[in-house]
Amino acid sequence: MAPSDISTRLTRALQENAPVGPGIEPHLQAVIFESAAHPGRLIRARLVHAACIAHGLEESSAERLACAIEYFHLASLLLDDLPCMDDAQTRRGRPCPHRVHGDASTILASLAFINRAYALANLSFAPQPPAVRIAAHACLDACLGTSGLVGGQALDLRFAEGAGDARAVTVVAVRKTAALFWLAVVFPALLAQPSPDELRALKALCLYWGLAYQALDDLDDIPASSGDTGKTSGRDRLLQRPNLALALGVPAARTRLERLARQATATVTRLEQTHSRWAYLAEFHRTFFIGQVSTLLDAASLRAA
């Protein structure tokens, strides 16, 4: 299936599985529908879908689990953009939902997405052996709780009170961006019951991808305008939030990004050589991740010329 076809199907599935029903309050419904209908590039959902198909799930189950992970991601974005967090104005080229429907409706929509995500994830793993289900629950807790996404956001908000150096930036990126990749890669990979060596390699890949994607986002935040990125930019400097390019300088941040890309390439190559069931990770890395890194580095080179 072509990537565009997968994205279309996943966008439709996000709307079909959205947590709405008869009698729902109109503003809450609007936030949910608008968020599900404009999900962005669906990086994590596409990874989950590919993993599910590679590991033997039926298409409907694969779509449900992809929706679950994307709902967790959507919920985090809704909360991130609130005035008490990043106070963003736009996301994906559109006004942030809290700007249109209010903070309360946006918070409730986030809770609705999280609730539906847990339900879909549990449904997808229900037929699996008990050991797999236990591992899946532990993975969700590690990725989303105080040791993962929630804790990372708390550190992000208090970043200005600390050292503000590159190490502190990395700690936040590990807790937030890398944790979401862990959720998109390791969580569905549990269906294949990976060996300890495979699991270590998968977690390393999530770390490299997560840190690299955060570095991409940080570099984008420096020179870009909202028209370039589709979201409010320049907020990291204004709000004194973690940003690798601000902590290290743009040249050093680019160098680190290149190193992370090499480390990720070596890891996906090792996984692909271990077993063909990891080929989808190598394909994603080649066709999407490397393209994103190359595009940003080329654009930066042109701006510097």
Q: E strands of the chain, at which residues?
A: 90-91, 94-95
**Nearby residues of 282 by Cβ (< 8 Å), 6 or more positions away:** 268, 269, 271, 272
Higher pLDDT, 204 or 40: 204
DSSP result, 55-120: TT--HHHHHHHHHHHHHHHHHHHHHHTSTTTT--SEETTEE-HHHHH-HHHHHHHHHHHHHHHHHH
For 40-63, the pLDDT digits (tens) are: 889 999 999 999 999 999 999 999
On whether both 149 and 284 belong to a single domain, the answer is yes
Mean of pLDDT values over 248-269: 93
Give the CATH number for residue 101. Answer: 1.10.600.10
On whether both 115 and 152 belong to a single domain, the answer is no
Asked whether residue 225 carries a pLDDT value surpassing 70, the answer given is no
Alpha-carbon gap, residue 151 to 164, rounded angstroms: 17
On whether both 151 and 96 belong to a single domain, the answer is no
Maximum separation of any 2 CA atoms in the chain, in Å: 58
Handedness of CA 268, 270, 273, 277 (dihedral sign): negative
Higher pLDDT, 297 or 189: 189
Of 68, 101, 127, which residue constitutes the final position of a domain?
Answer: 127
On whether both 112 and 196 belong to a single domain, the answer is no
On whether both 102 and 184 belong to a single domain, the answer is no
Of 104, 127, 150, which residue constitutes the final position of a domain?
Answer: 127
On whether both 74 and 173 belong to a single domain, the answer is no
On whether both 82 and 152 belong to a single domain, the answer is no
On whether both 120 and 4 belong to a single domain, the answer is yes
Residue 82 structural domain: 1-127
On whether both 136 and 262 belong to a single domain, the answer is yes
On whether both 288 and 141 belong to a single domain, the answer is yes
Closest CA to 141 of 182, 189, 193: 182
Tally of structural domains, the chain: 2
On whether both 267 and 222 belong to a single domain, the answer is yes
Tokens encoding 211: 């840190």
For 84-117, the pLDDT digits (tens) are: 998 999 988 899 999 999 999 999 999 999 999 9
Of 127, 150, 167, which residue constitutes the final position of a domain?
Answer: 127
On whether both 122 and 52 belong to a single domain, the answer is yes
H helix or E strand, kind and range, residue 134: helix 130-144
Q: Residue 126 has what DSSP assignment?
A: T
